[in-house]
């Protein structure tokens, strides 16, 4: 019972429930977009990165090709590589442990660990959030996929509207300050301009190049856009702030 | 179109990306420029996906009930609604607008 007294475990569990639950929207949207039950589950079991999963099905739902969907998902997953580097430095996993730890390295597990100052707490927070989200995300993906199949015509239920809201919901927590808004506006404009001229799915990659170029050529926060979808420490947390200051300083 | 190969390749790339952080020399990824590009690209991709799903219809732009979903989702987010509520609000807005006859 001592484990449940750990603040990191408590945060990890609550973030698991909040994040895991919205697997239901991924499952429903994937099946409404024409993915089979096992394809939908493959995303949540093997890709396990919410943004990338939504990106893949979003591109396909918009008529994009498999290769465009794959590229969008891969580019959206790039930040997980940065998280991996941070968690490797912070938690120092030994040998084989790196392999399972890498799979659950996502926005939320990284944010939960970074918000703790004690090394044991950091480790507990990372694993509780990572494993908790993995289990619940997959359970609720399955629930959503089965429910989506039973719904019938997805448009009648407004599921295409649900996809719009889902992407906006993923974007929203990253729009803190003027710069991210400007990047989002530039990407949106590039998308709209590109739509009539290139095949479906490609406008998203055009926008990725535009946003990447802005990051490459301008100076600003080095952790821009690296916010979790659900913030484990919504009311501020002194050590979380310290960790983000430290990241900025690097 | 059989999407299985692309799904599996995308899953493989996602894992390799995560794992690379644990094995690539920290100096390479730690450069502030690489971190910034990964971050700004995340914002750009999500903004683009929002727009595409709201107004793109194949290779043309269409202004239909999905715009209502975008507006309703933004209001829900403004009111600090949790993610799942935002998604349900978006879905309900599009469904209601269609019932009212706006495609």
Radius of gyration of chain A (CA): 18
Question: Is A169–B86 a contact, with Cβ atoms under 8 angstroms apart?
Answer: yes
pLDDT at A91: 92
pLDDT recorded at residue A87: 92
Q: How far is B40 from chain A (nearest CA, A)?
A: 6
Is the reported ipTM for this assembly greater than 0.85?
yes
Which residue in B1, B53, B72 is closest to A66 by CB distance?
B1
Q: What confidence score (pLDDT) does residue B57 get? A: 85
CA dist B98 → A219, B67, B87 (Å) = 45, 12, 17
Report whether A229 contacts B83 (CB < 8 A). Answer: yes
Question: What is the Cα–Cα distance from A33 to A176, expressed in whole angstroms?
Answer: 31
pLDDT-based confidence at residue B51 (cuts at 50, 70, 90): very high
Rounded Cα–Cα distance for residues A54 and A41 (Å): 13
The pLDDT of residue B1 is above 80: no
User: Which range of residues forms the domain containing residue A240?
Assistant: 2-249
Q: Of B19, B70, B73, which is closest to A84 when you measure between CB atoms?
A: B19
- The pLDDT mean for chain B works out to 90
Q: What is the pLDDT of residue A226?
A: 79
Residues of chain A with pLDDT under 50: 1, 237-250
Which pLDDT does position A235 carry in this prediction? 67
pLDDT in tens, A80-117: 998 998 899 889 998 899 999 999 999 999 989 988 88
Which positions in chain B touch A14 (Cβ < 8 Å)? none
Give A171's contacts in chain B (Cβ within 8 Å): 43, 46-47, 50
Flag if A161 and B91 touch (Cβ within 8 Å): yes
What are the b/e assignments for B66-91, b being 16+ CB within 10 Å?
A: bbbbbbbbbebbeeebebbbbbbbbb
* pLDDT computed for residue B29 by the predictor: 60
Residue contact B46–A171, C-beta within 8 A: yes
Contact A162, B94 (CB under 8 A): yes
- The number of domains in chain A is 1
Give the rounded percent of residues in chain A with a pLDDT score beyond 70.
93
């Amino acid at each position: 019972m001592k484990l449940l007294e750990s603040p990191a475990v408590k945060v990890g569990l609550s973030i698991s429930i909040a994040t895991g639950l919205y697997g239901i929207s991924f499952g429903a949207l994937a099946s409404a977009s024409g993915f089979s039950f096992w394809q939908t589950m493959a995303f949540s079991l093997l890709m396990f990165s919410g943004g990338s999963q939504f990106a893949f099905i979003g591109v396909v739902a918009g008529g994009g090709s498999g290769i465009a969907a794959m590229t969008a998902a891969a580019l959206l997953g790039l930040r997980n590589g940065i998280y991996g580097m941070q968690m490797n430095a912070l938690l120092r996993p030994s040998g084989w442990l790196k392999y399972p730890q890498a799979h659950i390295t996502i926005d939320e597990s990284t944010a939960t660990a970074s918000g703790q100052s004690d090394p044991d707490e950091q480790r507990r927070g990372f694993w509780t959030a990572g494993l908790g989200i993995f289990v619940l995300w997959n359970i609720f993906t399955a629930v959503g996929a089965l429910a989506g199949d039973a719904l019938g015509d997805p448009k009648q239920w407004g599921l295409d509207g649900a996809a719009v809201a889902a992407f906006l919901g993923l974007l929203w927590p990253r729009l803190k300050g003027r710069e991210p808004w400007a990047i989002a506006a530039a990407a949106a404009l590039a998308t709209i301009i590109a739509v009539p001229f290139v095949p479906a799915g490609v406008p998203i990659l055009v926008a990725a190049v535009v946003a990447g170029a802005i990051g490459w050529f301008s100076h600003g926060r080095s952790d821009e856009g690296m916010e979790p979808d659900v913030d484990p420490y919504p009311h501020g947390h002194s050590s979380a702030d310290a960790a983000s200051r430290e990241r900025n300083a690097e | 179109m059989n999407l299985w190969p692309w799904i599996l390749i995308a899953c493989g790339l996602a894992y390799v990306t995560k794992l690379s952080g644990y094995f690539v020399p920290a100096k390479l990824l730690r450069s502030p420029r690489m971190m910034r590009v990964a971050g700004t690209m995340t914002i750009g991709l999500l903004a683009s996906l929002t727009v595409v799903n709201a107004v793109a219809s194949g290779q043309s732009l269409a202004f239909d009930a999905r715009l209502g979903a975008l507006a309703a989702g933004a209001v829900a987010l403004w009111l600090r609604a949790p993610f799942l509520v935002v998604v349900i609000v978006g879905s309900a807005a599009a469904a209601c607008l269609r019932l009212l006859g706006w495609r």
